[in-house]
Structure 1
Amino acid sequence: MTRISGRIVTPTAVIPGHLELDGTEIAAIVPDLAVSDDVIVPGFVDVHCHGGGGHTFTTGDADAARGAAAFHLGHGTTTLLASLVSSPFELMRSATEAYKPLVAEGVIAGIHFEGPYLSGARCGAQNPAYLRDPIPAELAELVKIGEGAVRMMTVAPELPGALEAITYLRENGVLAAIGHTDATFDQTQAGVTAGATVGTHLFNGMRPPHHREPGPVVGLLSTTAAVELIADNIHLHPGMLAFAARTAGPDRSILVTDAMDATGMPDGRYELGGQAVIVADRVARLADGGAIAGSTLTMDVALRNAVAAGLPLVTAVAMAATTPARLLGLSGQIGSLLPGLRADIAVLKADLSLKHVLRAGAQI
C-alpha cells in the first residue's frame, strides 16, 4: 500500500492526511494533522491543447503526439485531448486515423478539432485558407473512422448549417463547442439549444460583449454550457478570469492551456496550422498580423494563476480536473481524489509548484 502525505484537495475540502493507493487506484483518505506541507491534487485534465515540448498535435503525426502528451504529463496533465487547428479535410481524416490507436492506449483521451467551421471575422490565429461552412459528409466520415476517438469539435453557430452540425455531433457522442464566433447573443443561445455544451476559450476569438448586444460571451455564461478559460494572464486578465469563473461557477468553468509546440521551449520562430508564429517572453503571436497564437502555458501554472487571481484552491482544482473530467464523461474514473478512482495525482509544494506526478499509481 503506497501512502502520500500532505493536504489532500477533495471536491469539497482540503483534508490534511494520507492518501492511500492500492496499485492503480485510490484506496482511502486517512485524516492526520501531522503531515507535510505538500498539496495533493488530482491529475489535471486539459481538453484544449495543441502541443508542447517542441511537439505538436496539429500535423497528425503520432510520434509527435506522443511527445506532446509526455511533455504535459510531466507537468501534471494526466488526461488530455489532442487539439488540431483548422485544416484541410485530408489532414483531419489522417490525424483521426493516426490518433485512434493513441486513444486506445490511453496516451490521449481523444481528438478535439478546433475548426475548420469557424468565423472568418473571429479566426484569430486559425488559418483563414482552411475555414469553411460545416460539411455534413466530412462530419459523418470523421465520426465513422474515429470510432469514438473524436471527442470535441469547435463550431461557430452563426454559419450556414452550423446548428444542424451541432445537433449531429451531440447525437453521435461528440462534444460540440462554440468558439471563434461572431455570433449574436441569440445565435449563441440557439447553438446551445441545438446541443453545444462548451465555450471554446471564453472571450478569445469571440465578438466582445456590448451592453446592447451581449454576444457569445454573455450568451454562453447565461446557459448551462461549460466555458474554457486560459489562465496564462495573457489571454485573460486575472480579474476577468476570476469574474468568469465566479459567474459560471466551478461546475461549469474549465482551465485549459491552448498550448502549442513552443510550450517549454526557447523563444523563437514556430509554426501553427501553416502560419509562422513568433514566441517572445512566453507570448506566441502570428508573425503576420500579431494575433495571439495559442499559448505556452502548462496546467500546473494555470492552477497557480487561478489561485493567485483569488479563486479558492478547491475551486481551482475543480476547474483543472474535476469539471473537465465530468465533461468528458470520465468522472467515474478520474478527476477527483476519491476512493475507487484511478490514482492520477499531482503532488505540489506549498507554493503550488509541481513536485511530482503519478498516473495510475506509477510515478512519472
Structure 2
Amino acid sequence: MTYFIKADRFLLENEEKQGGYLKVSNGRFGSFVETIPHNTTIVDWSGYTVAPGLFDTHIHGISGHDIMDGTVEAVHGISESILPLGVTRFLPTTLTSSKEDLNTAIAAVNSAVNQGLKGARSEGIFLEGPYFTEKHKGAQNPDYFRDPDYAEFQEWQHIAGGSIVKIALAPEREGALEFIRLAHQDGVLASIAHTDAGFNRSRQALDTGAGNFVHLFNGMSGLHHREPGVVGAALTEGRAFAELICDGHHVHPEVASLTAHIKGDKLILITDCMRAGLMPDGNYQLGEFPVVMKDGIARTEAGSLAGSTLKLIDGVKNLHEWSGKPLHEIWHRASLSPAASLGRDNELGSISDGKIADYVVIDDNISVQAAAVAGEVKYKKERK
C-alpha cells in the first residue's frame, strides 16, 4: 500500500520541515515531495505535526501489567497500552528474580511476540539483573544477586529464541568483564547499572564492550571531584549511551538539562515504568516488593523509588522545556538514540527514506492524535 502524509510540520533528525507530502510505501518511508500524482491516497493531518515513533528501551509494565507477571496477557497489555502514548517500539524489561521466574517471564515475552503484538512492537528483551551490587540495589531484590554467569545467560537466550538484546550488570562483580566481552561479541548491549564501581572500573567495562549506563544517576556511585565514579564515567565517555528518566523525581531538571547538553545524541530517554503507570494512586507490586504510589510517585516500603509511572512523551516534553533545546532534537533522544544504542538506527528512529514507517501525529500541546507501526495506523484518537 502506498499513500502520502500531509501535515503542517515533520520532525526530522536535524530540522523541522514545514509542509509538503511524505510518501509511505509498503510500510516504509519514502521521500518528501511538494506535489503528488493524481489518483493517489492522501492521509491528511493538516494542523498537526508528524514525528517518528517513540522507542522505550526500558519499561517493566503499565496499566496493571508487568513483564514479571510471566504471562502473554501482560506483554500484550503493555504493547497495547503504550501505543496511544506514541510508543511504537519497546524492550520488555525484566527485574532481578529467581531463575525460574525469569525463565517464565522470558518465555512469555517470546510467546506473545510470536503470536503478534497488536500495539507497539518488541525489539527484543532487556534483562535488568540479576548481576548487581547490594549497595545500590534500588527496587531490585538482593536475595538473587550473584556473579555474572554467561552459561546461565545463554540458557535464557535459548528460551528467548535469541531475542535478548540488552543486559544490565554491575561491572565490579567477579567475572563481569569477561561476561561483558562475551555479550558484546554476541551483539548484546551490556549496560552498567545498580553498581558501586569506581571510575576506573567503569572505564574498564567500557573498554571491554559495555555501551550503556542504565537510568543515569540512579542506582550507581555518584560524581565526586576526586573520584568521578560511574556517573563521571558516563558523562566523560563519548562512546557510551546513557539513559535518563525525565520525570522530575529521579533526576533534578537542571541536572537532566546539563546531561542533555553533555551527552548529545548519546542520551536515551526512558520511562522505567512499572505496573502503576496510567493507574490511580494505591498499593502495587514491583516484582516481589510491595510498592505504594502517591501523587504518581512509586516507592518501596523502605522509601526507594520503585521505577516510575512516566509516559515517554512526557519525558520528551519535560526535557524540551527544561533544556530549551528544539523539539526535534529532544524527540530523537526518545526515538533515534534508543534505536542507535541497539544498532537499529538504520531501520528505526527517524523519518528517513527507506526506514520503517513508525510515526506519531501530535498537536501543538505534544498530545498524541494517532500512531502508526510500519505504515499502518493502529491508533487514532477519538474526536469529540
TM-score, length-scaled by structure 1? 0.95
1:319 to 316, 333, 358: 333
Alpha-carbon distance in structure 2 between the residues aligned to 1:276 and 1:66? 24
Match of 1:226 in 2: 241
Provide the aligned C-alpha RMSD in A.
Answer: 1.7
Give the CA deviation at 1:59.
Answer: 2.6
CA deviation string 1:309-354 (max 9, x = no partner): 1232122122010111122222222210112222211111112122
SS at match of 2:143: helix
CA distance in 2, matches of 1:276, 1:48: 21
The aligned amino acid for 1:298 is K
Report the Cα distance in structure 2 between the residues aligned to 1:342 and 1:4, rounded to whole angstroms: 18
Distance 1:183 1:25, change over 3 A: same
The alpha carbon displacement at 1:301 in A equals 0.9
Question: Partner letter of residue 158 of structure 1?
Answer: E
The answer as to whether partners of 1:103 and 1:109 remain within 8 angstroms in 2 is: no
Q: Write the distance in 2 (CA, Å) between the matches of 1:148 and 1:135.
A: 17
1:297 paired with 2:300, answer no
Higher radius of gyration, 1 or 2: 2
Which residue identity does 2:230 align to in structure 1? Answer: P
Maintained 8 Å contact 1:143/1:172: no
Paired with 2:218 and 2:184, the residues of 1 have a C-alpha distance of 24
Deviation at 1:156, TM superposition (A): 0.5
Structure 1 stretches of 5 or more lacking a match? none
Answer yes or no: is the 8 Å Cα contact 2:28–2:357 preserved in 1. yes
The alpha carbon displacement at 1:44 in A equals 0.3
In structure 2, C-alpha distance between the alignment counterparts of 1:141 and 1:301, rounded to whole Å: 37
Paired residue secondary structure (1:188): helix
- The one-letter code matched in structure 2 to 1:261 is R
Counterpart-to-counterpart distance in 1, 2:202 and 2:250: 21
CA distance in 2, matches of 1:259, 1:30: 39
Residue 168 of structure 2 is aligned to residue 154 of structure 1: yes
Matched, 1:14 2:3: no
Q: One-letter code of the match for 1:72? A: I
Aligned equivalent of 1:114: 128
Kept in 2, the 8 Å contact 1:16–1:31? The answer is no
Q: 1:172 aligns with which of 180, 186, 207?
A: 186
Query: How far apart are the structure 1 equivalents of 2:308 and 2:141?
Result: 16
Match of 1:210 in 2: 224
* Unpaired stretches in structure 2, ≥5 consecutive residues: 36-44, 380-384
Cα distance in 1 between the residues matched to 2:75 and 2:138: 24
For 1:74-223, list aligned pairs within 5 A.
Answer: 74-104=84-114, 105=116, 107-223=121-237
Offset at residue 126 of structure 1 (A): 0.8
Cα drift, residue 237 of structure 1: 1.3
1:25 aligned residue: 28
Matched, 1:240 2:232: no
**1:28–1:338 contact (8 Å) kept in structure 2:** yes
2:82 counterpart letter in structure 1? H
C-alpha distance in 2 between matches for 1:186 and 1:94: 37
Summarize deviations over 1:86-112 as a string: whole Å, max 9, x none. Answer: 011112222222222444546411111
3-state SS of 1:38 partner: strand
Tell whether the 8 Å contact from 1:124 to 1:205 is kept in structure 2 after alignment.
yes
Residues 93 and 142 of structure 1 are in contact (CA less than 8 Å); yes or no, is this contact kept in structure 2?
Answer: yes
Q: Identity across aligned pairs (percent)?
A: 36
Q: Is the 8 A contact 2:10 2:50 kept in 1?
A: yes
SS at match of 1:243: helix
Maintained 8 Å contact 1:96/1:149: no
Moved over 6 A (4+): none
Give 2:133's aligned amino acid: S
The match for 2:319 is 306
**TM-fit CA distance, 1:355:** 1.7
Match of 2:285 in 1: 271
Tell me how far apart the structure 1 counterparts of residues 111 and 351 of structure 2 sit (CA, whole Å): 28
Deviation (angstroms), 1:30: 3.3
Q: Residues 288-321 of structure 1, C-alpha deviation per residue, up to 9 Å, x if partnerless? A: 2110000001111111111111232122122010
Which of the residues 348, 357, 368 maps onto 1:334?
348
Q: Is the 8 A contact 2:267 2:337 kept in 1?
A: yes
CA distance in 2, matches of 1:317, 1:133: 37
Distance (whole Å) between structure 2 residues aligned to residue 59 and residue 165 of structure 1: 27
1:197-219, Cα deviation, whole Å (9 max, x unpaired): 01000001111111111100111
SS at match of 2:180: helix
Q: Secondary structure, in 3 states, of the residue corresponding to 1:320?
A: coil
Question: 2:135·2:196 contact (CA, 8 Å) conserved in 1?
Answer: yes
**Retained in 2: the 8 A contact 1:102–1:108?**
no
Deviation, structure 1 residue 31: 5.4
Number of aligned positions between the proteins: 361
Provide TM-score, normalisation by structure 2: 0.90
State the alpha-carbon separation in 2 of the partners of residues 209 and 126 from structure 1. 22
SS across alignment from 1:346: strand
2:318 is paired with a residue whose SS is helix
Letter paired with 2:96: S
